[in-house]
Amino acid sequence: MARLELDGVSKHYGDFYAAREVTLDVAEGEFLVLLGPSGCGKTTTLRAIAGFVEPSAGTVRIGGKDVTRLPPWKRNTGLVFQNYALFPHLTVAQNVAFGLEMRKVSKADAATKVNEALRLVRLDHLGDRLPRQLSGGQQQRVALARALVFRPDVLLLDEPLSNLDAKLRNEVRVEIRSLQQRLGITTVMVTHDQEEALTMADRLVVMSEGKVRQVGSQRDLYERPADRFVAGFVGRSSFLEGHMSGDTLTTPGGLAIKCARKIAGEAVVALRPERVFVGTEPVTTADNSFPGEVEFVSYMGGLIDIHVRLSEHDQVIAQVPNHDGSVLPAVGDRVHVGWAPTSAVFPAEHNGMDG
Amino acid sequence: MSLARSDAPAAGGLLPDRWRLGRWLFKGVALVAFLYILTPLIFITWLSFYAQEIPSYPPEGYSLNWYGQALNNERFLKAFLLSAQLGVVATLIGLAVALPASLGIVRLRFRGRGTVNNLLLMPLIVPGIVLGFALYVFQVEIAIATSWPILGSFGGLVFGHVLLVIPWTVRLITASLVGFDRTLEEAAQNLGANRFTTFRRVTMPAILPGIVAGALFGFVSSFGNLEMSLFLVGPGRTTLPIAILQYLQWKIDPTIAAVSVLQIAIIAVAMLVTDRFVKISRVV
């Protein structure tokens, strides 16, 4: 259990930057999630913490100690691999004992600790099995016990849930999170699944193209995305591009949109679908109200997505709750959509990637 | 034959006739192939129990006499010991070369990797007699140049037999390394094992079947080698296959059959015993 700091960590292979100037500060006992699409640098960052990637530049500190040049076996991190990487020729108990054995813990002590760790993941009755005799979920828990048993300074999770089926994934999510909180262990998890990230993390780091795009709480990322990428990757957004002067963004389609933030020049507005209102009359309660035509309706039970075209260039998605007796607009209907001035406005040069 | 069974749909009675015919044909061909491989072995075993000296059909009776002859023959005994020693030493040296070579071939990316791999497998393709002759000339040259009496020495024999062992060990060890999941090594290192411990505790157990199988095949090919050894043996230093050949030049009594059966038995037992500890059948 320790604080973990990354200071300007970069890794490049020739001209290709896998990680660029990654700076993170993970507090003791914090659960930090690195979130991003594949190839965004999150795994490289995790491997730099574990010691499998030697940074081209920057420093990694665990508990205040510079470990940048230390090999993996001298770092005291516990890594749970995506494919679990259990030793196939060792029993469950021997797998879990491996880290203790390397730390020269006495046999009797080790046996007690192994038992404790297995009880923690509710597998103490399966110690004598071989990994291949276990289900995927059980293997995952063995991997977790193996990484926790020697009380690592930092627990590292590399897409630990991606090989489990959907139902199990939700259970394990809760289990890992509560275990982490109970032990108060500093944890870094890598995932590309935003739901997983949002439900488990204390704080999230959104990455793309090797760079940290934004660090913050779930609310920070959703309410105040730092750029277009984050707005598209965390939750959903409709994007309207145009030229901004004062607090008004004018789209090529002729819409004049009031915003809560001023940016000079080309800009893009991100709208959360549930914050867009749809009605048959102009939306007088919102500063922005435009007429449009329903282009597509997607019925999802409790929620309904309505895609509305506002002009040749502009389209927004509105998500409305399916109230008792609500009348569904049909494709081709003329409607009005409206929204309050939003602060999610970004300069247009952030248009690199779409979520 | 289990292949034919598992491929066929379960409902046997409903099979179209041509499928059934195909299955019988397949079984028939497999049977012929097995008989073709096994017949000589069956005959030589049968022959070794014949009572009469000249192998002719039908046997005049059965006896264990020829086994006694074989075991009491000092030439065979000495030759057997030499072949065994030679096989063991050559196999150990071969492994010592093949293990690092295989690791390099599978894990390093260097220019000429394919060439090195092919070179190491080459002794398998070059006829033994060519290899033997080449080594003979080579060793003559060494002996002349350094006045080191390598020719006909045990060292000279080992030198040659290592070449027989290397292709087998390299082939089987690289095969098991290719299938090895390297995240297991990362897992060990993450848990605190340095490179050496990681190799000893994780990599080694995983590729052990490949190593053992390679060693076994290497040993067998050394133990049974005749053509190359013919060039490399010296006076009073005879391997078992050569002793058998020499014996055959004067006699054709079933002693040879008995020696052969013993040889087959020893190798078969070695294979079965090792297979109990490491599943060679999974590699080969």
Domain region containing B31: 2-48
Beta carbons of B95 and B214 less than 8 angstroms apart: yes
| Distance separating alpha carbons of residues A202 and A178, to the nearest angstrom | 12
Mark whether B99 and B218 lie in a shared domain. yes
Averaged pLDDT, A326-338: 87
Mark whether B219 and B147 lie in a shared domain. yes
Question: Residue B189 is nearest to which of A73, A76, A87, comparing CB atoms?
Answer: A73
The set of residues, in sequence order, having a beta carbon less than 8 Å from that of A92 and lying 6+ positions away, is A118, A123, A126, A127, A128, A129, A130, A131, A134, A142
- In this prediction the pTM is 0.81
Averaged pLDDT, A128-148: 94
Reported as a single tens digit per residue, the pLDDT across A264-274 is 889 999 999 99
Reported as a single tens digit per residue, the pLDDT across B184-213 is 999 999 999 999 999 999 999 999 988 998
Mark whether B33 and B95 lie in a shared domain. no
Q: Is the bond preceding residue B254 a cis peptide, omega within 30 degrees?
A: no
Q: What are the φ and ψ backbone dihedral angles of A84, each rounded to 5 degrees? A: 70, -35
Beta carbons of A25 and A7 less than 8 angstroms apart: no
Whether the CA torsion B69, B73, B77, B79 is positive or negative: it is negative
Beta carbons of A179 and A211 less than 8 angstroms apart: no
Q: What pLDDT shows up at residue B1? A: 36
Mark whether B173 and B268 lie in a shared domain. yes
For residues A344 and A133, which has the higher predicted lDDT (pLDDT)?
A: A133
The shortest C-alpha distance from A166 to chain B (Å) reads 25
What is the dotted CATH code of the domain comprising A237-350?
A: 2.40.50.140
When pLDDT is cut at 50, 70 and 90, the band that residue A1 belongs to is low
Reported as a single tens digit per residue, the pLDDT across A171-192 is 889 889 999 999 999 999 999 9
Report the residue of B184, B191, B207, B208 to disrupt the A interface, i.e. the one with the largest count of A CBs within 10 Å: B191
Report the residue of A13, A76, A84, A87 to disrupt the B interface, i.e. the one with the largest count of B CBs within 10 Å: A87
Question: Residue B192 is nearest to which of A83, A87, A99, comparing CB atoms?
Answer: A99
Portions of chain A given CATH number 3.40.50.300: 4-223
Mark whether B98 and B190 lie in a shared domain. yes
Reported as a single tens digit per residue, the pLDDT across A215-259 is 999 999 999 999 999 998 998 899 999 999 888 999 988 899 989
When pLDDT is cut at 50, 70 and 90, the band that residue A355 belongs to is very low
- CATH number of the domain enclosing B254: 1.10.3720.10
Q: What pLDDT shows up at residue B275? A: 79
The shortest C-alpha distance from A102 to chain B (Å) reads 6
For residues B3 and A52, which has the higher predicted lDDT (pLDDT)?
A: A52
Question: Which residues from chain B sit within 8 angstroms of residue A77, using beta carbons?
Answer: 190
Mark whether B82 and B29 lie in a shared domain. no
Contact yes or no for B206 and A88 at CB 8 A: yes
The shortest C-alpha distance from B107 to chain A (Å) reads 16
The set of residues, in sequence order, having a beta carbon less than 8 Å from that of A344 and lying 6+ positions away, is A224, A225, A231, A237, A269, A270, A271, A272
Q: Which one-letter amino acid corresponds to residue B187?
A: A
The set of residues, in sequence order, having a beta carbon less than 8 Å from that of B15 and lying 6+ positions away, is B8, B9
The shortest C-alpha distance from B187 to chain A (Å) reads 6
With 70 as the cut, is the pLDDT of residue A349 above it? no
Whether the CA torsion A130, A144, A148, A119 is positive or negative: it is negative
Is B57 part of any domain?
no
What is the dotted CATH code of the domain comprising A4-223?
A: 3.40.50.300
Is B132 part of any domain?
yes
Mark whether B155 and B118 lie in a shared domain. yes
Collect the ranges in chain B with pLDDT lower than 50: 1-12
Q: What pLDDT shows up at residue B161? A: 94
| Distance separating alpha carbons of residues B262 and B223, to the nearest angstrom | 13
